[in-house]
Every structure is written in structure tokens, then in C-alpha cells.
Structure 1
Amino acid sequence: MHPKRLARYARIILALSLLILVYDAFSSLRGLHFLYDSARRQFSPSWHALYVLETTEWGFFNPLAITSYTRANGRWVDIAGFRGKAGFTWERLYAWKDRCYMLGEKARMSYFYRIGSSNNDELETDWGNMTEGLHGTWVRYTADLAKTHKTGRLGTFWKLAAGLERPNSDIKENDGTMVLRIDETASLELEHEEVPDNIIEESELGTIWDYGLLWRERLVKEVAATLTIQDGNAADDNFTMRVHGVHWPRLGLLIMTTTSKKFGGILGLPHLSLSKQYFITSQRLLNTTIRNTLDGKNSAAWFDTSNPWTASPSGKRTSRIQTPHCEYVVYVQLHPVNGTVSMQTAAYDWERSLYCPSGYSVLETPDVQMTTVIFSPDCGFILESKAPARFPLNNRQQLDCEVFEQNNP
């Protein structure tokens, strides 16, 4: 064959090879862009829910209208599970809040009054990070389902709640046990600026106040916990889930939720708060933490599209761990340590007694206790701790006293 013809064939083959390489490169890029766009689409509901959280205010979510007590005239927010058509049993939200007030908030306010800090906010000290496993028993709360339980506005709400418990839920018994393990490692902490009280209106009938933020309400932290609920006495009939939320360290208060495609719990958590003050502080914290989480997912979107707030303790569903089918909202109130000394001193001496169980005279302080009220917005049940659950002391008595004394001179 003539050398010129060979050279021409060689150029044609080289050109075809280059075209094939370029085509493969563009195909790979299209595949990568498809994966990226797919990941962006998966997290787009979370970005939208974050926008809703950032732009809504206290009172925007009110499932039962005050005037007619009906869902049709209720206020809803555009977050999964918080919409009117979601089919959740939000009628029992008011009963859950009422139990939180009665069992947790009222007990804490009574303590503040007893120690004289109700008029001096900054007398209160931190409870600290309680990371021990919380063991306790729970009972099903059903008093709000009785039609003649109460009268008045709350009574009307409670009458509407009758029959809302779902028969095919995770919890079928009326009592059982639970274990709550709190995790605050590497959590973000924010201190909200001071907000003074303001007078909205003054009249002959009295003064209407818009209360600001107390010192003990301004500090918030992100928190996560692993909750195991045993239904009845069957050892194998239990559910383990991961919940995420907000911790007010100066109040000993935590509110946490599960989060899934059907329930944007962490994204709507401030709307489940017990007061406007809790809403403001938790909203500011979650605006930051949720945005940081979603930004991190976007940077790794080609490889990681998992739910960052999954209810599965291992980060993914496995056959070895029985995860719940219901969604959960968890209220936890740490009980203050009794005594005439400051809570910080009492907590230090209590902790020191665990590290040094012998040879040290300890102030007479009780076990650290917590009250828990759990609400399932989709399955409709409410569980509450039967008695204040306690941190087990023996888990920490194995720690070395010398290390504690060295780290806490």
C-alpha cells in the first residue's frame, strides 16, 4: 500500500479514537451530573422546609383554630407532617403540651420559686451534660381521650381527640420500660442576645406584655439521643430509634423528634415548642445547624444521599435493629438537685462521689432524675414516665478517682 494512503488511514483512525474518547468523557460527565441532580432533588424538600422554618413565626402552626376548634380552620406550615392533609393526629398535641407543663415545666418553676430565683433569673446554674443512660418505666396517657374529662377550651380540644389512637402502631400495651442515652458530643451551642419585656397594650383591664428572653432561656445546644422503648414485658418487643433536637442547658430541658420523608420533625421542631421563647431560641439554632448539615450533604452529594437525621441508630435500616414505624416527639425535663447549696456545687459533689465512692464525705443529694413525655403525631399515642426516671449510679463508679481529682482540682 502506498505510504501516503497509510498515513491518511492512520489519521482517520486517530481522529475516530479521539472522538470516541471525547464521547466517553461527556457521557461520564452526564452521568455525574445526573447523580448530582438526583441528590439535589432528594434534598430539595429539606431546603424548602428550611426556608419555611426561617420565614415562619410563633403561632403559624396551630392545628385547631381557636374560634371553631376544627382542623379545617387550623393553621399549618408547609413541612412534611405539618400540613393539614398529612393525616396526623395533631388534635392530641395540646394534651401532650399540657402533660409537659404539668410534669416538667411546673416542677421546674416550683423549684425556682422555692430557691428564690423566680425574681432573680441568674441565680440558676447549668445542669451540665448528662450523658448517662436514662432508665425508667412509662405508662400510656389516655385521660384526654375521655369525653367528660374537662370542660372549657381544653376540654373541647380533648373531646375532639377521642378515638385518635391508631390500632396498628408500635405501642400496643399500656406500660413498659425505656432507655434514653443522650449524646451532645461536638454539638453547636448558641447564646441568644438579650430581649427585654415589652408592653403591647395598656388599658383599664390590665397590661398585655410581650415577654422577652430570660438569661436561662437564651442558651441552646443541639442534641441527639438514642431511645429504646419496650412495649410491655416482652423482651424482644422493643423499638430503638435516633432522635434529634434542642437542649436548653440552663433549664435542663430537651425537645427531640424523629425525622423522615413523611415527617420533617427536626425541620419543624420549633413549632412544637411550649412557648414563644423556646420557639425563638430553637429556631435560631436550627436555622444554623440544618443549613450546615445540608451544605455538607451537597458537597458530598455524589456519594452520600442518606438522611442526616435518620431514626435508625446505625445510620441505616438493618434487620438486626427493630426501628419504629411511628414518628416520635420527645420532651425531657431534668429534675434539679435538691439542697441548700448551689446546683453547680451539688452536681460537682454528686459526681465526685461516683468517682470516689469511699473515703469522702458527700453532701446529701439525691439521684439525678428526669421526666419524659412522648407523643407520636402520626400514631396518636402519648407515653409518659411513670415516675422520675434515674441515671444508674453503678455505671460510673468504675472510673478512677485520681483522674477525676486531677481534672477537677
Structure 2
Amino acid sequence: MADRRGILLTLVIFGFIFLSPPGPNGPPAARLHERPRLEDVIAEEERSLEVLRNATYSDLWENSANGRLLLDEAPQLNLTGFRPDQGFAWAAIPAVKKRARELLNNALGTSVTSAEGASGIPIDLPPLYTNITGYVHGPWVRSKLQDTAARPHLNLSSYAGEGPFGALLPRVFDRNITGDAGDVSIRFHERSPYAPDILQVPGSINITGLGAEITLRDPANENEAELQLYGVYNMDLGQAILTTTSEKMAGVFMLAHFALSEGTYAPVKAYMNHSISQTVQKRMDGIIESFNPWPSTGEGGPPSNLNPPNCELIIWLQQLPPRGLPIALPQTNYLRFLESELRFPTGAFLPPAPQLRFNMLAFSPDCGYVLESKGEPDFVPQEGEHLVGPKIETLFGDGRNHLLLFALIIGGQIALLKRQMHEASTPSTRSRISFTTIAMLALGDGFATMTLLLASLFISNLSVDLMAVAFLSFVAVSFFGMRFMFDVWTAHAPERERAAREEAEEERHRRERLRDALERIRAERNERLQQLAAARTSETSNVEQPVVVGPPLANHEQTTVAADPPAGDALPAPAAATPPMDSTLPLTTANVPPPSDPQLTTPALAPTTTNTPSATVPVTTAAGADQTIPDTLPLPVTAQRPTDTGATPIFMPSDQDGLITQTEAGFQINMEVEPRISSFGSLYMRFYFMLLGVLFVSLNAAGWPSVLRRFYFTTIALVYCSFWIPQIFRNVQRNCRKALRTEFVLGQSVLRMMPFVYFFWYKHNVLFASQSLYSLTLLALWLWIQIVIITSQEIIGPRWFIRKDWAPPAYDYHPVLREDEEGNTLPLGLSEATPSSPPTSPLLERRVSLNLSSPIARRSSLAKEHKERGKRVYDCAICFQDLEVPVVETDESGDSGLASGLLARRNYMVTPCRHIFHTACLEGWMKYRLQCPICREALPAL
């Protein structure tokens, strides 16, 4: 047993490290467990709020004399993030705010800044949205201020967290943008979760709270930063100021100091005092229990030194005048009425609402980067139009319309599937269809169902519409898709059983070959042992000789009885030398005749063998086979002796779980070689488990890096659009055509391609997915190739694009008819029945009943004469119409006949019994019965 005392010592050491009380300086393990308490956080918020109440605009940022930052002259503003020892790049704020004023002037006019700065009341403003809830997205570029702005001087060792065994290595900052260009998406909430209603301050300036979810995509390092910001929105100016708040920067407490002028500083400060006071009071009352009511990520849990640091961000957003407003009407009044109608619809007929337009300026004080939205006046409109997007009411309206369109698409899929199910209503037609193709189509409908149901839980405004479309998709997968899968699965049952039997037969042959090899090895071993025993017998005179049963036999018929050698080095009793085995005889017991006398004289056996009750003595023949003679009493004289025919008895149990075979060693149960799906119920469970697995992986992939996420979803889309590949493969395997209707193939391909067209090509999709024409072209081209192949299989042949030895042999119902004697493949037509012979088909029965069996009437069963060379005319026994077929004459080459009749061969079908019919007639017949209409010969399935 292993010594585990070292484990106990290790546990004691770890317990001492983690459970030791913290000292004055505290070991690293004690500092790891230190967490800020909620009371301490509330106390720090109250102190920061008091600093905000006592601050003024000129105390912190600018001096009217030189316009420089005066951090050293404002020590009373003791806020987290403003301390000089933190090394933030606050010296760049004057240049950043100057750039924000330029963007404001470009958006609203040059007179806005002076008028707003003097009295705080803007004049001559263009019409702007007061409610900006919605989505905007567009490109960003690195600002020109990046090269001139002051860089941060951070002490990176302070960001290295403490682990159980000391300080960790400095880590990379999250949300650090290093590229020169990228994309940004912003979703505006109506107000922040802990903000009061609209606050109107003296001067007719309306301020409201604002929350935003921002996604910054950086193609340089394939990074995507998602963060939440909180701030205020000035409805008169259309200006929003947002910031992050964390344990290393008190963003919301310093938000008022990010105002562009002293005129807007006062209303922002009043609003933030009111908002933060309400939030702190709710925290003291226990209503808000999170450590950070304004989290940038997550749920505002307690900070941890083990989490990587994040770049803080301050964003200035300026609304641009909307486009498309009627010039004849007062634009401001019209925009207010439009907003009211969108929010509280009364049924008035209105044109589409203009989109939201914003420019953006983002600054990170600790990471030191400055970003701007790409647009005028620095860039032409073709390169970028800043940030553009719909209002939330317009987005929800478009979402309802798009969901209605998707519902129509699902309805079309159900209609096509229903028509295909009606067409494939017999086992013969269902056996042609690939089960994997139908399962992939149903899997796509199931994935759409689960996705819509999950979306309905998060989008409350569209929950009813999403659940309705999800139910329609659920009907498509459960009532139609799964039912069709079950029908196809049932039709494929004989194939699966036949394949299982072939596998079992192949496994049986393999085991027989192995058993024969073992018997041959055993016979050689016994021969060597007998030779060794014979050599020892010549040296020892007191060893008994084996008893020979009956008269002497021939070399290949002499039978000796010997026991198996005992375990160990003990040798059996010596026996007479056996002549060498003839390798030409098979290793079976059929060459040895059964003994006529049940009581055979056996040789002297070892005591360990003869004293065993009910022992069996193997009889070794010269042919190498073994026979087992039970050690029992002889049968009565009147009992009939069984005749050994050489066959192996097989017993079929009632449950047919396996075949019971009587072997030499007893009874053996032959089970299946590999476990198979015994019922459709297990397949049903596998289908839904696969669906849930794909759904969970896809939800997890939404948070992967952009490269991996794009690769995953493109791969999933490419695999899903390969649903015709299994059908093409089945057509090749079975050499069948027209397994699926042409309208089903084309219709399903077009309808199932529409969602990809919507997301990859439509610019204003609800998910704001970027256009990817290359991906859409790849999917469309791949699907089109499959359609072309599956259509060509119906016209040219299922195996026209592969070699003959690549697929199993199958009967060709469209052979080339030849008239030469060597390859005579001309059909027989109808069988000529005589009055004395019974009819061989319903057609002949009818002719006999109508006395039409005269030689003149029976002449129509033969090939009729045709004036044109290389053609014959036959009668179709199903439609009673003439059938003209091309025939290769004796003096024609096979290649010329094959080329000339490639398409003409599709008009007729010749059965294995050499009867010819119209293709449409025989295919319609074979939908219900796989028998020849004339001779009732079994026909292979199409």
C-alpha cells in the first residue's frame, strides 16, 4: 500500500497558509481574502458626493489666464482617479474638450457655442430628437489628438494583483484599443437604472439620465470590447456625456466637470447631485445591494485583484440634425409630433421616421487613446457618415415586419414539405429519400425555434411576435419534420437490417477464419506433443499405449483419442503417432463418419482427467477436427441414433434478441456486432440532444473573439447549407432518380437561403450584422452546385460524375438496347400466352376474356416494324400505348448509339425480366408495388 503521509503534511501547510490570522502587514494569503465591505463603499460614495456638491467648474479644469489644467491648485477635489499618484492623462482633457466643441459647432452651427456659453440658453438650433432611445453604429478612427495628447504614466506594478504566493505578473488591460480604425455600436437606454425623471433647471435646459451599451471592435488585435456607460443627455443641445465608473475612477462623481462650458456645467451638476443622492439613499435603505450601482461590466460585484484591469472611457456624443424632414412644415413641431406618434401611436399615417445621427469622441484617461467617429468634415460621406441607426420604436416596427416575413417563409417550407410527404406516401418512394437530408432540414427548423424562444425572453416588446413565429417553427419541426423522418426511418428498416446481417456475416466469417487458424495451431501443437510422447515412450517401458478404436483406418481416416494437455508442464498420456495431416482436406468434422458404437474404448488418461465427473473427451481426427464425446451412460437399444449431418443447430428465441447456436462447447448466443438504434425513440432523443448542444455552443460562441466567432458561424452556415449532399450520396448508392420533387428542392433551397440573405446582404437588419457579400456568395454558390448535381442526376444519371467501381453495383433501368447477338438486350415485350396456358398478367387475362388471344391480337406484343433505322416500337403494358425506343444496330458502334440516345433512354425503362415500359408509367407503378406488371417478378427499388 502506498504511503500517503506526505499528503497529510501538504494539507497542514496549506491550512496554515490560508487560515492564519492576518498580521499588521498581512501576508499575501491574508490580503487575498480582504474584500471591501458594503458599508465602506457607501461611506466612500457619500464623501465623493460631498466633494461634488462643493466643487465649481473653475476649481478643477481651466484657468482663465492660461487655460491649463490646475490639479495642484485644487486639492479639495479628492476624487478617485484625480489623484496625481495614479498617473492618469488628465492633462489631455483641455485638448479633448476643445475637439468636442468643434464637433458641436460642426453639427449645430458656429453660433451655438458662444450663445450657450454666455447665457446657457442655445439659440437658433435645428430640430433634434429629445428621446434618443435606439441603436446607432458606424466606423471609428484614431483621432489626430493621439500624437499631441499627454500620455499616461501608470505604475503597472500597482495593477498586479496579490495571489496566495505573492504578487502576480502585470496583466494586459481589457478594452485597450490599439488599432487605427474599426466599428462601434451604441444602444441608448431611455435613462439610467438609478436616475430620476427629467430634471428641468432654470434657463430652460432639460437634462435627463442616459445609459448606453457600447461595443468597440478593434480589427488590429481581433478584439471586441463591450462596456456599459452612464451619464446625462442635454435634450436642448442634443449632447450626451457618458463615462465608466469603477474602483479606480469615480466617473459619475466627476461627470459634471466633463461639460464643455460653464453654462452646461451647472445643470449637469444639479442633476448628478440629485441622482446620486437618491442612489446612495436607496443603498442605505437596502434597496440596492450591489457594490457598484454604475458597473461597466457584469453586475457590479465586489472588485477582485485577480480580475484583469479595464481601460476607463469618457465619451462625448453630439446629435446631428435628422435628414428627410419635410421642408414645407415647421420641422421642430413635426419632429415632436413624430416622436409622440412613435411612442404613443394613434394610427396616424406618417412617413418613415428619420434615423438617429451622432458624432462621437472617446477618451481613455488611463490607457491614453482618443477615438472619433468617421464622417464629415474630415471624411467624405462615402467613407463614413458618423454613427447612424434607427430609433427603438422604428426598430421594433421593422422587427415585426421581418418576423411576419419569416413566418411566411416557414409557412412556405411547411407547404413544400407537406406536398413532398404526399408524393412520398409509399415505402418504395420513401426508401429513395435520404434520412440525413430530412434530419438536417428539421434541425434547422428546431434551431430557429429555440433561438426565437430565447429572444422572446429578452425582448419584451416583441415577445408575442417572437413566440408566435417560434410556435410556427415548432409545428414545422415536430408535426411535419419529425413525422417525415419517422416515415423515412421506417422505410429504411429493411436496409439497416440487411446491412446488419452483412456485418454480422462478415464478423462470423472472420471469427471462423480465426477459429480455423487456432485449430490448425492446436493440431500442430498436439502433433508435436504426440511426437514428443512417442519419443519418451521408446525410452520408458511402463507407459501404456493408446487404444485404437475399430479396425485400422486409412491415413486420413484413422482416429485417435487423447485428452487435452493439462495445465503447466505436465504432458498427456502418450498416444500413437498420427500421420501428417493432409492440407487439402478442410478442417471440419464432416470428413469423419459418426461412430456406430456409442461406447468407445478410450486410452488411459491421467488421474486428474479421468476422475472428473461428467468430463468430455475430445477426439482428434487426422483431418484436424475435434469431436466431443460426453461421458454419460449409453442410450437404450431401442433409441434412435441421431444422424450427424454436419449442420450446426440454430435456435431462434421468442424475443429475437440474438441467435442461439449449439457449438462444441455448448450453446452460444450470437449478438449483433455493433449496437444499433433499436427504435425511433432513441433517435428522437439524439436529435434533440444534438439540437440543444448546437444551441449551447452557438450561445457560447457569441462571446468568442471576432475571428473565431466569424469562423464558427460561417462553418455552421456552410454545414447547414449542405443538406442536399446526403441525398446526392444516396442517389449514387442506390442508383435512383427523382427521389425528391423538383419544386421541393428549388423551393427549400430558396426559402432556407433567405435568412442568410437577410443578415449578410440587408444592411438594416435587426442584429446590425455587417454586410458580408463574400460569405453570402460562398453559401449561394455551394447550394447552387448541389442543386445542379441533384438535377443532373435525374436527367443524365445518378452516377454520371463518378467511376463505376466507386459505388456498389445496382440495376440500370435505362440500358442501351443492342441488336447484335453478343450483347442482345432487346426487351421481350408482352408474354405470348396460349389458350392452354394460364395468363401471366392482368393484360393477358383481359385479352383472354375478350377472346383477343388470336395470333393477330398477340402480334402487338412483339416489336413493331419502324421505317426509321435504329428504332423499335413496343407496347407499354400499363398505358397500352406505343413506345418508340432507340436500338443500336449490328453494324453501329456502341459509342455512337450511346451518344445519340442519351436523353432518349430516359423515356423507357427495362426491367430485369426484360419487359419494357414508359418511364412515367413504370415509375408510377413502382410507387405502390415493386413487381413487374407482366410477370410479377420482383423489381429492385429505384
The equivalent residue for 1:178 is 184
Separation of aligned partners in 1, 2:100 and 2:69:
23
Q: Please state how far the C-alpha of 1:271 moved relative to its aligned partner.
A: 0.9
Separation of aligned partners in 1, 2:86 and 2:201:
33
- The answer on 1:222 being equivalent to 2:209 is yes
Q: Is the Cα contact below 8 Å between 1:136 and 1:177 reproduced in 2? A: yes
Aligned counterpart in structure 2 of residue 342 of structure 1, from 331, 349, 353: 331
The equivalent residue for 2:144 is 142
1:8-407 pair list within 5 angstroms: 38-62=37-61, 67=66, 73=72, 75=74, 77-110=77-110, 121=123, 127-143=129-145, 145-146=147-148, 161=150, 163-164=151-152, 170-185=176-191, 187=195, 188-194=197-203, 215=204, 218-232=205-219, 237-300=223-286, 304-316=289-301, 325-338=310-323, 339=325, 340=327, 341-346=330-335, 348=337, 362=351, 367-387=355-375, 388-392=386-390, 395-398=395-398
Q: Is the Cα contact below 8 Å between 1:184 and 1:224 reproduced in 2? A: yes
Task: Name the amino acid aligned to 2:43.
Answer: S
Q: Deviations over 1:320-341 (max 9, x none)?
A: xx99711010111111225533
Q: Is the Cα contact below 8 Å between 1:353 and 1:360 reproduced in 2? A: no
Q: Please state how far the C-alpha of 1:87 moved relative to its aligned partner.
A: 1.1
Q: Is the Cα contact below 8 Å between 1:241 and 1:324 reproduced in 2? A: no
Task: Name the amino acid aligned to 1:312.
Answer: T
SS of the aligned residue for 2:132 comes to: coil
Q: Please state how far the C-alpha of 1:38 moved relative to its aligned partner.
A: 3.9
The equivalent residue for 1:33 is none
Separation of aligned partners in 1, 2:340 and 2:183:
26
Give the TM-score normalised by the residue count of structure 1.
0.66
Separation of aligned partners in 1, 2:351 and 2:67:
57
Q: Is the Cα contact below 8 Å between 2:60 and 2:69 reproduced in 1? A: no
Shift of the 373–165 alpha-carbon distance from structure 1 to 2, 3 Å rule, reads farther
Task: Name the amino acid aligned to 1:41.
Answer: D
Q: Please state how far the C-alpha of 1:91 moved relative to its aligned partner.
A: 1.7
Q: Is the Cα contact below 8 Å between 1:220 and 1:249 reproduced in 2? A: yes
Q: Is the Cα contact below 8 Å between 2:215 and 2:226 reproduced in 1? A: yes
Q: Deviations over 1:279-326 (max 9, x none)?
A: 10011011111011011111118x8242001111544599xxx99711
Separation of aligned partners in 1, 2:152 and 2:232:
28
Task: Name the amino acid aligned to 2:387.
Answer: A
Identity %, equivalent residues:
22
Separation of aligned partners in 2, 1:230 and 1:336:
26
Q: Please state how far the C-alpha of 1:96 moved relative to its aligned partner.
A: 1.4
Unaligned runs of 5+ in 2: 1-35, 114-119, 157-171, 376-385, 402-460, 462-942
Q: Please state how far the C-alpha of 1:84 moved relative to its aligned partner.
A: 2.7
Task: Name the amino acid aligned to 2:296.
Answer: A
SS of the aligned residue for 1:372 comes to: strand
Q: Deviations over 1:95-139 (max 9, x none)?
A: 2112211123442135979xxxx9984876651212212111111
Task: Name the amino acid aligned to 1:132.
Answer: G
Q: Mean alpha-carbon deviation: is it higher for 347-356 or for 40-49? A: 347-356
Q: Deviations over 1:43-65 (max 9, x none)?
A: 21111110000011111112789
Q: Is the Cα contact below 8 Å between 1:128 and 1:249 reproduced in 2? A: yes
Q: Is the Cα contact below 8 Å between 1:354 and 1:396 reproduced in 2? A: no
Q: Is the Cα contact below 8 Å between 2:136 and 2:356 reproduced in 1? A: no
Give the TM-score normalised by the residue count of structure 2.
0.31
Q: Mean alpha-carbon deviation: is it higher for 66-75 or for 56-65? A: 66-75
Q: Please state how far the C-alpha of 1:178 moved relative to its aligned partner.
A: 0.9
Q: Deviations over 1:244-291 (max 9, x none)?
A: 111111221110100011100001110111111211001101111101
Separation of aligned partners in 1, 2:46 and 2:185:
33
Shift of the 249–70 alpha-carbon distance from structure 1 to 2, 3 Å rule, reads closer
Q: Is the Cα contact below 8 Å between 1:311 and 1:323 reproduced in 2? A: no
Task: Name the amino acid aligned to 1:190.
Answer: L
Shift of the 317–51 alpha-carbon distance from structure 1 to 2, 3 Å rule, reads closer
Q: Deviations over 1:334-372 (max 9, x none)?
A: 11225533234146559979999xx96738x85321111
Task: Name the amino acid aligned to 2:102.
Answer: M
Alignment: residue pair count: 318
Separation of aligned partners in 2, 1:278 and 1:63:
15
Q: Please state how far the C-alpha of 1:68 moved relative to its aligned partner.
A: 9.6
Separation of aligned partners in 2, 1:71 and 1:193:
29
Larger radius of gyration: 2
Shift of the 292–120 alpha-carbon distance from structure 1 to 2, 3 Å rule, reads closer
Separation of aligned partners in 2, 1:143 and 1:220:
29
Separation of aligned partners in 1, 2:122 and 2:360:
27
Q: Please state how far the C-alpha of 1:224 moved relative to its aligned partner.
A: 1.0
Separation of aligned partners in 2, 1:109 and 1:252:
13
Q: Is the Cα contact below 8 Å between 2:60 and 2:71 reproduced in 1? A: no
Shift of the 124–108 alpha-carbon distance from structure 1 to 2, 3 Å rule, reads closer
Separation of aligned partners in 1, 2:82 and 2:122:
38
Shift of the 42–351 alpha-carbon distance from structure 1 to 2, 3 Å rule, reads closer
Q: Please state how far the C-alpha of 1:144 moved relative to its aligned partner.
A: 5.4
Separation of aligned partners in 1, 2:94 and 2:61:
10
SS of the aligned residue for 1:82 comes to: coil
The equivalent residue for 2:492 is none
Task: Name the amino acid aligned to 2:332.
Answer: M
Separation of aligned partners in 1, 2:112 and 2:260:
18
- Tell which has more relative contact order, 1 or 2 (C-alpha 8 A, sep 6+): 1
Task: Name the amino acid aligned to 1:91.
Answer: A
Root-mean-square deviation (Å):
4.0
Q: Is the Cα contact below 8 Å between 1:165 and 1:379 reproduced in 2? A: no
Q: Deviations over 1:27-84 (max 9, x none)?
A: xxxxxxxxxx942222211111100000111111127896595767454521111223
Q: Which has the higher helix share?
A: 2
